[in-house]
Copies of this chain bind each other. A is one copy, B any other.
Amino acid sequence: MLLELDEKYTKSFISKESIAAIEPEVMAAQEMLHSGTGAGNKFLGWLDLPENYDRAEFMAIKEAAAEITKTVQVLVVIGIGGSYLGARAVIEFIKSQANNELNKDTPSIYFTGNSISASSLADIIKLCDCKDFAINIISKSGTTTEPAIAFRVLLEMLINQFGKEEAAKRVFVTTDKSRGTLKELADKEGYRTFVVPENIGGRYSVLTAVGLLPIAVAGVDIDALMQGAADARLEYMNPDFAKNACYRYAALRNILYRSGKKVEMLVSYEPDFTMMCEWFKQLFGESEGKDGKGIFPSSAVFSTDLHSIGQYIQQGERIMFETSVFFEDAKEDIIIGFDPKNVDGLNFLAGQTLSNVNRKAFQGTTIAHYDGGVPTIILKMKKMDEYNLGWLIYFFEKSCAISGYLLGVNPFDQPGVETYKRNMFALLGKQGYEELRSELEARLQK
């Protein structure tokens, strides 16, 4: 099996009885999910997506990506949340965190419209200035504040630099199929459009045009990515709880949560996985954190963070468990050399690969944390490639859905995200929020 779930380092925290007890719940969750009878069932498009995705759109994505790669130096991707994290995470994992700085035959890709920081937007403007650039704006409605502001600023810059006609060829819009202001604008101006499927929520959208267009521009093999997800889909339809790693992961984390482990730390031993951790945090945090419930999603990269929060993990409050994603092979390996003077005392490592040292760090850390009272669920993958990553993405998506049902929440809504927006609109003086505005301003003055 491509992904190996190792439960060994949960044993002293999870009894056989608790696993047996949760099995019927998992089966019920599976039934709800597959029959579409559970909460949020309008948003199950991701479930069969790797099998039934729109092949014509997929081809159009590849063609647009090829054109962008051929014609521009920089692609600016404007989006927030699910319209940002997935693409960036896949690109950094498959290519590199330093992708933009490394020699390559693909455009540099900058993500913006994901904050309201003037300082950050000013940097993006500098990075595009005098460069041959294109824009991919990703927004279902076209009115989300953060990307809309960035699009206003960058579209004007694009038109100033290239003229209206040429600029139109350089704007790629990923939005709703038929509705919304962005769709209208695109049709009017002749921008090419790609579809945010109606039945797939933002955090589940990385394998749609939302993620795939920037991912393809970065030179990532999107066929292999989809194939990994498709094969994972087949694998995780297995109704045998004992053999379905995806279901077991959902079960284990819920058992740990119910026993008081309220914080999950997603751990990787590869810095290039950092943004995948952020993608995971949205997926699980937004799906589960509601009704006063949910595992708090956090993350770390080891051994880096063993030298920062490692102390806390080893000996702090016993409220957490780890989920460690470990890849057997590095993208490229390095053999540690022999130093005749052995200045650093590391000659016992001479001739070993760095990957092997990393593996021992992973094993040693897992045991250390387990002994210290932190259970670890291990997810072992083979290679840091597209196929493995597509598999892992689907694994997390499905286990998140199952896990949400086990928790007793709707894993596909996010009602709490509106609250800050409403306050912000009111404070900014948006029409229709006058009453709330007075109320909030009075509170701020107090």
The stretch among A47-55, A139-147, A204-212, A229-237 that forms the contact with chain B is: A139-147
Q: Does A151 count as interface, using CB distance less than 8 angstroms?
A: yes
The stretch among A61-69, A313-321, A392-400 that forms the contact with chain B is: A313-321
Q: Does A149 count as interface, using CB distance less than 8 angstroms?
A: yes
User: Smallest Cβ distance from A261 to chain B, in angstroms?
Assistant: 12
Q: Which residues of B contact A307 (CB under 8 A)?
A: 80-82, 84, 114, 146, 202, 282, 417
The stretch among A20-28, A36-44, A214-222, A264-272 that forms the contact with chain B is: A264-272
C-alpha gap A312/B262 in the complex (Å): 12
Contacting pair A119 B332 (CB below 8 A): yes
Q: Does A434 count as interface, using CB distance less than 8 angstroms?
A: no
Nearest chain-B residue to A283 (Cβ)? B308
Q: Which residues of B contact A344 (CB under 8 A)?
A: 142-143, 148, 151-152, 181-182
User: Smallest Cβ distance from A256 to chain B, in angstroms?
Assistant: 14
Q: Does A59 count as interface, using CB distance less than 8 angstroms?
A: no
- Total interface residues on A, using CB and 8 Å? 136
Contacting pair B363 A118 (CB below 8 A): no
Nearest chain-B residue to A290 (Cβ)? B315
| A285-B309 in contact given A118-B358, A123-B102, A290-B315 (Cβ < 8 Å) | yes
C-alpha gap A355/B118 in the complex (Å): 6
Q: Does A177 count as interface, using CB distance less than 8 angstroms?
A: no
Q: Which residues of B contact A357 (CB under 8 A)?
A: 116, 145, 149, 424, 428
Contacting pair A308 B286 (CB below 8 A): yes
Contacting pair B117 A271 (CB below 8 A): yes
27 A-B residue contacts at CB 8 Å? A8-B446, A84-B304, A101-B108, A103-B126, A115-B303, A118-B331, A119-B331, A121-B354, A122-B331, A146-B303, A149-B354, A153-B337, A181-B343, A281-B308, A286-B311, A286-B312, A289-B309, A292-B317, A297-B309, A306-B417, A306-B420, A310-B416, A314-B417, A348-B429, A349-B428, A361-B424, A363-B424
